[in-house]
Amino acid sequence: MAKIGFIGTGIMGQPMAANLQKAGHQLFLSEHHGKAPQALIDAGAIALANPQQVAQEAEFIIVMVPDTPQVDDVLFRADGVAAGLSPNKVVIDMSSISPTATKAFAAKINQAGAQYLDAPVSGGEVGAKAGTLSIMIGGEPQTFERALPLFQAMGKNITLVGSNGDGQTAKVANQIIVALNIQAVAEALLFASKNGADPAKVREALMGGFASSKILEVHGERMIKGTFDPGFRINLHQKDLNLALAGAKELGINLPNTAGTQQVFSTCTAIGGGNWDHSALIKGLEHMANFSIRDK
């Protein structure tokens, strides 16, 4: 059994934390931004006042918050994780944030004698609940091996990509691919429906060919049925694409399709859809076309 601090028990974090409990680990939670989930407390988690106290109690400290500024705050605020670290403790950031900032955060944590892993995830709320997340990790191999049982409690496809920052780079690449595939499926279904075909039947036909994909299977069905309750919100995917576009600018490269998909997400946000599931990107295209595939 490991003593694990878990900071960030939202849509993704709470089921991830619950899977660590099911694997027999002791959890410590921070209440610096609100009460800890009662379900985790009932299962044995211990609530503490702030991240510093969590870091003092735990061997591993997992952070799962929305964006780079929140990670910075949790780690380096006056009563943050860094203030409670001692040598050989491991900080694991499972948020999806800037690779450049990640390298700077890791350097600060390493200076305190602790180790740092960036370990963003893919798989959404469904994967978090099922313990089947894909986890992309940057850090030292020996630190990865220490933390591997924790990752195995939360995910299935677990890859040490390289050094600090490389896990976040892999996640940004993942989000580029997912976004562009969502847009491809949305455009195809919009084209088919506007041309008079049944989008559900078109999707069924495409599932048997080279165009088949997880996005077509899962999000294509959501687009057809109009079930856009968030598994992964548009505003969070926009944040990830902003990381991609900012990184591309730093690298002096062009990502034209990523930029185009970001514009469609921005259309969704403009019509009130920032909290829709990212499969609702199709509603941005429908808005521009003044046509819905669900109104036939």
43-60 pLDDT, tens per residue? 999 999 999 999 999 999
For residues 39 and 103, membership in a common domain is answered with yes
Is 295 part of any domain? no
Asked if 171 is an active-site residue, the reply is yes
Name the average pLDDT for the chain. 97
Is 224 part of any domain? yes
For residues 150 and 175, membership in a common domain is answered with no
Percent of the chain at pLDDT > 70 equals: 100
For residues 29 and 133, membership in a common domain is answered with yes
Across 17-47, b (16+ Cβ under 10 Å) vs e yields bbbbbebebbbbbbebeeebbeebeeeebbb
Residue 172 is predicted with a pLDDT of 97
Is 33 part of any domain? yes
Does pTM top 0.95 for this prediction? Answer: no
Of 135, 162, 189, the one marking the end of a domain is 162
Tell me, what CATH number does 89's domain have?
3.40.50.720
Of 162, 183, 209, the one marking the end of a domain is 162
Question: Is pLDDT above 70 for 282?
Answer: yes
For residues 101 and 139, membership in a common domain is answered with yes
Residue 295 is predicted with a pLDDT of 85
Residue 296 is predicted with a pLDDT of 62
Look at phi and psi of residue 252 and say left if phi exceeds 0, alpha if psi is from -120 to 50, else beta: left
For the residues 177-194, what does the mean pLDDT come to? 98
Of 116, 136, 162, the one marking the end of a domain is 162
Rounded to the nearest 10 degrees, what angle do helices 99-111 and 234-251 cross at?
90
Is 296 part of any domain? no
Domain region containing 247 = 170-289
Reported confidence tier of residue 217, pLDDT bands at 50, 70, 90 = very high
For residues 56 and 188, membership in a common domain is answered with no
For residues 181 and 254, membership in a common domain is answered with yes
226-239 pLDDT, tens per residue? 999 988 899 999 99
For residues 18 and 88, membership in a common domain is answered with yes
For the residues 238-264, what does the mean pLDDT come to? 97
Residue 230 is predicted with a pLDDT of 87
Tokens of 66: 């929305």
Question: Is pLDDT above 70 for 21?
Answer: yes
Residue 197 is predicted with a pLDDT of 98
Tell me, what CATH number does 285's domain have?
1.10.1040.10
For residues 269 and 233, membership in a common domain is answered with yes
For residues 212 and 151, membership in a common domain is answered with no
Reported confidence tier of residue 255, pLDDT bands at 50, 70, 90 = very high
Is 294 part of any domain? no
Is 32 part of any domain? yes
Cβ atoms within 10 Å, residue 284: 24
Domain count, the chain: 2
Q: Which of 22, 103, 171, 214 is catalytic?
A: 171
Is 183 part of any domain? yes
Is 144 part of any domain? yes
Greatest Cα-to-Cα distance within the chain, rounded to the nearest angstrom: 65
For residues 25 and 157, membership in a common domain is answered with yes
For the residues 15-23, what does the mean pLDDT come to? 98
For residues 119 and 41, membership in a common domain is answered with yes
99-135 pLDDT, tens per residue? 999 999 999 999 999 999 999 999 888 899 999 999 9
For residues 69 and 188, membership in a common domain is answered with no
* DSSP state string for the chain: --EEEEE--STTHHHHHHHHHHTT-EEEEE-TTSPPPHHHHHTT-EEESSHHHHHHH-SEEEE--SSHHHHHHHHHSTTSGGGG--TT-EEEE-S---HHHHHHHHHHHHHTT-EEEE--EESHHHHHHHT-EEEEEES-HHHHHHHHHHHHHHEEEEEEEESTTHHHHHHHHHHHHHHHHHHHHHHHHHHHHHTT--HHHHHHHHTTSTT--HIIIIIHHHHHHT----SSBHHHHHHHHHHHHHHHHHHT---HHHHHHHHHHHHHHHTT-TTSBGGGHHHHHHHHHT--TT--
